[in-house]
A and B are shown apart, each in its own frame.
Chain A
Amino acid sequence: MQTNSQRLLFALVLLNGPSAPLIAESPLPDTIQFNRDVRPILSDNCFLCHGPDANHRQSELRLDMRESALKSFAFDSDKPNQDGLVARVFSDQADQQMPPPDSHKKLSPRQKSILKLWIDQGAVYQQHWAYEKPVKTVIPAGQNGVDLLVRKRWMEVGLQSAAQADRRTLIRRLYFDLLGLPPTPEEVAEFLHDSSDENEAVSAVTSNTAKANTTYLSLVDRVLQNPHFGERMAIHWLDVVRFADTAGYHSDNPRNVWPYRDWVIQSFNDNKRFDRFTLEQIAGDLMPDKSQETLVGSAFNRLLLSTEEGGAQPKDYEARMLTDRVRAIGAAWMGQTTGCAQCHDHKFDPLKTRDFYALGAFFADIQEPIVGRREDGMVVVTADQKTTCLVSASLPNKRTVRVLPRGNWMDESGEIVEPAFPTYLPQSDVAGRKLTRLDLAQWLISRENPLTARTVMNRLWQQCFETGLSKVLDDLGAQGEMPPNLALLDWLACEFMDSGWDFKHMVRLIVTSETYRQTSVATSEQLTADPYNREHARQSAFRIDAELIRDNALAISGLLDSKIGGPSVKPYQPDGYWENLNFPTRDYVADKDSSQYRRGLYTWWQRSFLHPSLLAFDAPSREECCAERNRSNIPQQALVLLNDPTYVEAARVFAARILSQRLGSAEERLFWAWQQSLQRSPRAEEMKTMIELLNTHLDGYRKDVKRADDLIKIGNTPSLDSLDKSELAAWTHIARVLLNLHETITRS
């Protein structure tokens, strides 16, 4: 994902040419810290050949452990700076230099100096930060831990708080972040004019001790009780667990798992404890109090890719499914990239191939579909209807799991492994019995596990601030990033566990912080001091997610059907988009009833051909787990918002609403339309532009009413005969421009 500042970098490249020096060196810290300063250098440049993977290790030198490095004389504890590592990295002779020239790795002078200083200071190692238990900073009663810890960092790095956001911005932000829908003009007005507010001048930079006011707190409470909260939170979780309506491989046929999607929504709305949420998904069929609810949760185990391709070998797909599941657990709960350990010990993290298959062995009891045959699933009774859902079922005789040498499923020479927790992480007390999926789930949510709470809180932070506290959401390992504000991530993780895995509590903590409530408009001083906004001395502005682009347009137009849950739906889609699907060939039939206007997250998720409007705005195909989406800005997005019948219909229905208000002048109408779409009043120049545009289109359509008629018939909604066709068509353009504005699709 590109941050604004990275784009600035591009802009600079444009202006100065590619040769402009972009990176200067900052001074070395007085005391080198291994995790902060050294590990990233070693991991990126050295561990490939001198790290955890024994099979790829060169010259018997291992730099990721102090003892091994000492033994190989990489440095000498008595005579620092005499030989070995330092000499090699500073060497300019090709046969001496490290990393060697053919590795295409190169250390900067600063990196070399850090290594030298670190060895001079005694080459002190630390265990990788994410494998240590999080430490909880003590927060004085009545203070928000987020604000306290963010400010502590500001003191260290010399930053100050940005102004607080204005209220209209704040309520839009809160609604998009927690509900995925815009506030109505009435909701905004209520929030703006609430008289209980003691301090309207919240924009003062000095307000860093001001208490979150009661108006805002009660707004947050209402939002957290709003049933659209569960939908909004579900979008991210469904990406992480790769929820989709189809099997994925080859014929990519449908399979029924949508009750699981509704289970996720309901779980967030009920504020189901996150530990329970975890147990039900991984082992809902093995729980002592199993029920339809826990079984539907266990559909998590069935969300992976499967195939019906003729000639697919069961053993091949058994291996694919095992590795797919390990990757999913790694991504969703552990924040670990495990995929490489399928073939070899991890090059950078201590995860071994044996750990990988031992994790996979937890799932060796799950009944898999027979390749080429479709399953019916379990009957699920909901309030509305009876349906089926794929769920986990445990086989009495588990499959034998072997380590597959180099990941090759045809090689049966590997060692047989039983379920086990990765050896480099704290173990649970389960000695003397065979472990089950229930044990795995309990281990993930145990207080000893250093990863789960951090992983989940890091993702929640990203939802509220654009960038995670550790910026690589799916990798808290050596190749990820040590958070600049580790104390904050750790405090959030501990508070999450201490609160009883109370997700809404954590959301409330974050969104009521002053840190969250700052303006996203950056001053040049702030851009200079913290270009990537890693210290959160301001908020971020970013384009809303694919599903929300749709939801927002439907909500503004008044078309949105806000029903929650149910089978996936089919919005308009270009003819022939599925023409390359087969076995069988399929026609896409768009919904004709109110299902046409459901929220984006209910869209039929065809893995091999995701709906093109969602795809254009970076919704993932959900073939693999996705912790963080791209946030691109491409011409196809303009084509979707301008030409997709969903948005044209939204514009014309919005236009009809504008014209149906008892308003006199075009200016009054524009004023009303602006309130609906942007929850603010138009500026004079905006008004002028739109009036001119309106007149242009009025002229055009009055000369050609036939075209007006064509335009106002797009979409299923019947057109209002009571309105003048040319006027409606012209206002459809006005509405369309509003729906296309950058501001409309931006949360700031």
Chain B
Amino acid sequence: MQPNSNGMNVNTVASIAENRRMFLGQITQGVGTVALASLLRPSLLNASEAGLPGIRSLPQKAKRVIWLSMAGGPSQFETFDYKPKLAEMNGQPMPESMTKGQQLAQLQGQALFCLGPQFSFEKFGKNQTEISSLFPHIGSVVDEICLVRSMTTEAINHDPAHMFMNTGSQITGRPSMGAWVTYGLGSESEDLPGFVVLVSTGKGRSPQPIAARQWNSGFLPSRHQGVQLRGQGDPVLYLGNPSGITRDQQNADVIAINKLNRLQDSLVGDPEIAARIAQYEMAFQMQASVPQLMDIRSEPTKTLERYGCQAGDGSFASNCLLARRLAERGVRFIQLYHRDWDHHSLLKQELPLRAAEVDRACAALINDLKEKGMLDDTLIVWTGEFGRTPMSQANKGPIGRDHHNKSMSMWLAGAGIRRGHVHGATDELGYAAVENVCSVHDLHATMLHQLGIQHDAFSVKFQGLDAKLTGVEGAKVIQEILA
């Protein structure tokens, strides 16, 4: 289906045909390359030019997004939400008044006991914000970030929760936010995809799976789907030439293909052929530009040390550095997944490992972007797909916490987000968000708002509905977290 495919009236089509002939004529006469490249430049083919509502209707604070997804669902009690009362009640039964009749995952039907924070908290920054001692680097930049302790979600199993976090719906087939945003705003990069995904895995146990649908374009045009850049093998699938074929030989073939296609076009006049020619040019460019992008050996040693990564290690830290490089190259939406936060068991043993894997790199990303003057227009978001229970889980080995959707913590930074602020709060045991409760749709609305998009107007026709990322229930922009 084609979003925004309004009927076109007969009277104007004559001029379109005229222009089309002129346009194709230029191509066959060899003026082509620039025109062809621009034919495929996503920024020229996106919703804003097609007049889709909601786009650029607000001041654009964020030019791009870097979303750090902690896959598996980190515990807020060992990261950003300090609960002394929960520590006091450690081992005691959880008050039934709180949990009765509520949705639980693996703890459904079990006796429920409080589990106090497993690590100490320290105070950071000018407001003495309490953050787990496992995150000293994030603590060191707490004055740059806005911490939200009252986040909630609707889903409670990983797969639907990721879907909800990415697409605003638990039903498969909806576009991921990165697809929405590149659809709406296009990309400023000529030789990289507008929506890029990087996945790293903790050096721990057996992490939760992540499906490619998490970066799917759903009912939006396929060119808006996220492209995963991989740490091993071809960074983009099928990027490398077959063995035995040099770049010059590849070039010769692409030139021949395009020449024959152009010839065919002169006979049948199909604009799809012009698009095909441009795609071959773009693919050939990507074959050079993507390896350059991925090669972080060119970075100064001190930068690698700052992030805590080595070239080719495929770590979250490497991916943070790549995120900065992607941002510099005009990529619109960059999403990082770091897997293995699903601590049903071994919370005390495993969570510090994950913390060490992300803490330094997150802070480095913020500082690096700031020094380069890019933090002001880059929106950074750090979330899990859900939070975890204040109750202990002991049926899977050494103690852990179960999935939980009534409370979780997240943080945002850059691009007009209020600096050094804490928003919202949970009850004294951290079971539920009680103050300034935020939903996933609110988060999406706020992110779109910073991108200059009015969330309740930004819609696409799908199955007869004006489908929106933020759903139909009335999401709200979280004004209090904006500067």
A and B from one complex: yes
**Does residue B59 face the partner (Cβ distance < 8 Å to A)?**
no
Q: Does A575 contact B (CB under 8 A)?
A: yes
C-alpha gap A522/B257 in the complex (Å): 24
B260 within 8 A of A: yes
Q: Which residue of A is nearest B265, CB measured?
A: A742
- Residue-by-residue, is A496-539 near B (CB-CB < 8 Å gives 1, otherwise 0)? 00000000000000000000000011101001110110000000
> Bound state CA distance, A634 and B23, in angstroms?
21
Task: Given A26-B9, A251-B209, A686-B263, decide whether A12 and B19 contact each other with a Cβ distance below 8 A.
Answer: yes
Residues from chain A with a CB closer than 8 A to the CB of B35 are 14
Asked if B397 CB lies within 8 Å of chain A CBs, one says no
Do A742 and B9 touch (CB < 8 A)?
no
Question: Which residues of chain A are near B222, meaning CB under 8 Å?
Answer: 618, 630, 632, 634
Task: Provide the bound-state CA to CA distance between A592 and B239, in Å.
Answer: 24
- Known: A527-B13, A609-B212. Is A4-B272 also a contact (CB below 8 A)? yes
In the assembled complex, which residues on chain A have CB atoms less than 8 Å from the CB atom of B239? 639, 643
Give bound CA distance, A648 to B5, whole Å.
Answer: 37
> How many interface residues does A have (CB within 8 Å)?
127
Contact (Cβ within 8 A) A729 B257: no
- Are the C-beta atoms of B249 and A697 separated by less than 8 Å? yes
Q: Which of A125-133, A304-312, A396-404 contacts the other chain?
A: A304-312
Q: Are B464 and A472 in contact (CB under 8 A)?
A: yes
Contacts of B12 in A (CB 8 A): 21-24
Q: Which of A25, A580, A708 contacts B9 (CB 8 A)?
A: A25
A642 touches B173 (CB 8 A): no
Question: A663 an interface residue at 8 Å Cβ cutoff?
Answer: no
With an 8 A cutoff between CB atoms, is B98 at the interface?
no
Given the contacts A7-B271, A608-B209, A714-B243, A307 and B105 also touching, CB distance less than 8 Å: no
Q: A521-B269, A621-B216 are in contact. Are A11 and B23 (CB under 8 A)?
A: yes
User: Which chain B residues lie closer than 8 Å to A23 at the CB level?
Assistant: 6-9, 12
CA distance in complex: A504, B80 (Å): 64
A648 to B10, CA, bound (A): 45
Is A700 engaged at the interface, CB distance under 8 Å to the other chain?
A: yes
A254 at the binding interface (Cβ < 8 Å):
no
Residue in A closest to B54 when the chains form the complex, CB atoms: A104
Instruction: State A423–B159 Cα separation when bound (angstroms).
Output: 35
B243 close to A529 (CB less than 8 A): no
A531 to chain B, nearest CB (A): 5
Is B30 at the interface (CB under 8 A from chain A)?
A: no
Known: A313-B103, A580-B199, A624-B172. A477 touches B237 (CB 8 A): no
The verdict on B120 contacting chain A, using a C-beta distance below 8 Å, is no
Q: Which residues of B contact A693 (CB under 8 A)?
A: 252-253, 256
Fill in one digit per residue for B88-114: 1 if any A CB lies within 8 Å of its CB, else 0. 000000000000010101101000000
B221, closest chain A residue (CB): A632
A337 to B, closest residue via Cβ: B463
- 8 Å CB interface, B156-198 against A: 156-160, 171-173
Residues of B with C-beta under 8 A to A520: 268
The binding surface of chain A is classed by DSSP as loop
Q: Is B23's CB under 8 angstroms from A582's CB?
A: no
Give the residue name and chain of the A residue nearest to B217 (CB). Answer: A630
Q: Is the CB of B20 within 8 A of A686?
A: no
Of B43-51, B136-144, B411-419, B445-453, the one touching chain A: B43-51
Any B CB within 8 A of the CB of A696 = yes
A8–B103 contact, CB under 8 A?
no
Q: A424: CB under 8 A from chain B? A: no
Contact in complex: B256, A737 (CB < 8 Å): yes
B23 CB to nearest A CB, Å: 5
Cα distance, A722 to B39, chains bound together (Å): 46
Most chain-A Cβ atoms within 10 A of its Cβ — which of B20, B106, B256? B256
Task: Give a binary string over B227-252; 1 marks a CB under 8 Å from any A CB, 0 the rest.
Answer: 10010111011111111111011101
B172 touching A638, Cβ below 8 Å: no
| Distance A5 CA – B9 CA, assembled complex (angstroms) | 12
- The smallest C-beta distance from A75 to any residue of chain B, in angstroms, reads 25
By beta carbon, the residue of chain A nearest B216 is: A621
Please give, as numbers and ranges, the residues of chain B lying within 8 Å of A7 by CB-CB distance: 271-272, 275
Tell me whether A524 and B23 are in contact (CB under 8 A).
Answer: no
A461 contacts partner chain B, Cβ-Cβ < 8 Å: no
Given A479-B464, A711-B245, decide whether A623 and B272 contact each other with a Cβ distance below 8 A.
no
A685 at the binding interface (Cβ < 8 Å): yes
Q: What 0/1 pattern do residues 1 to 32 of B give for CB contact below 8 A with A?
A: 11001111111111111111111000000000
**CB-based contact B270/A4 at 8 Å:** yes
Q: In the docked arrangement, what's the CA distance between A618 and B220, Å?
A: 12
What residues on A are CB-neighbors of B442 within 8 Å? none
Q: Are A575 and B233 also in contact (CB < 8 A) when A624-B171, A635-B282 are?
A: yes
Q: Which residues of B contact A640 (CB under 8 A)?
A: 238
Does B244 contact A707, Cβ atoms closer than 8 Å?
Answer: yes
Q: Contact: B256 with A574, CB < 8 Å? A: no
Q: Is B119 an interface position by the 8 A CB rule?
A: no
Q: Is the CB of B209 within 8 A of A26?
A: no
Q: A716 near B: Cβ within 8 Å? A: no
- The answer on a CB contact under 8 Å between B464 and A309 is no
Q: Please indicate the chain A residues that have their CB under 8 angstroms from the CB of B403 in the complex.
A: 311
Q: Which residue of B23, B160, B212, B230 has the most chain A CB atoms within 10 A of its CB atom?
A: B212
Set A250, A478, A635: member contacting B157, Cβ < 8 A: A250
Q: In the complex the two chains form, is B238's CB within 8 Å of A639's CB? A: yes
Judge whether B53 and A104 touch: CB under 8 Å.
Answer: yes
Q: A10-B45, A311-B106 are in contact. Are A621 and B213 (CB under 8 A)?
A: yes
| B293 within 8 Å of A (CB atoms) | no
Q: Is A541 touching B11 in the complex (CB atoms < 8 A)?
A: no
- Interface mask (B266-299 → A, CB under 8 Å = 1, otherwise 0): 0011111111100110111011000000000000
Judged by a CB distance under 8 angstroms, whether B210 is at the interface is: yes
A-B contact pairs, 28 of them (CB 8 A): A2-B221, A8-B20, A11-B20, A13-B49, A14-B23, A26-B9, A250-B208, A252-B209, A309-B158, A309-B159, A311-B108, A311-B156, A313-B103, A337-B465, A340-B465, A410-B103, A479-B464, A521-B268, A524-B18, A527-B13, A527-B20, A580-B199, A580-B210, A585-B206, A612-B238, A635-B279, A711-B243, A746-B270
> What 9 A-B pairs have minimum CB-CB distances, sorted nearest first?
A479-B464, A711-B244, A311-B105, A608-B211, A710-B244, A638-B283, A632-B222, A311-B106, A623-B172
Besides A23-B7, A700-B246, 6 other A-B contacts (C-beta < 8 A): A4-B272, A10-B39, A531-B13, A621-B213, A643-B240, A711-B245
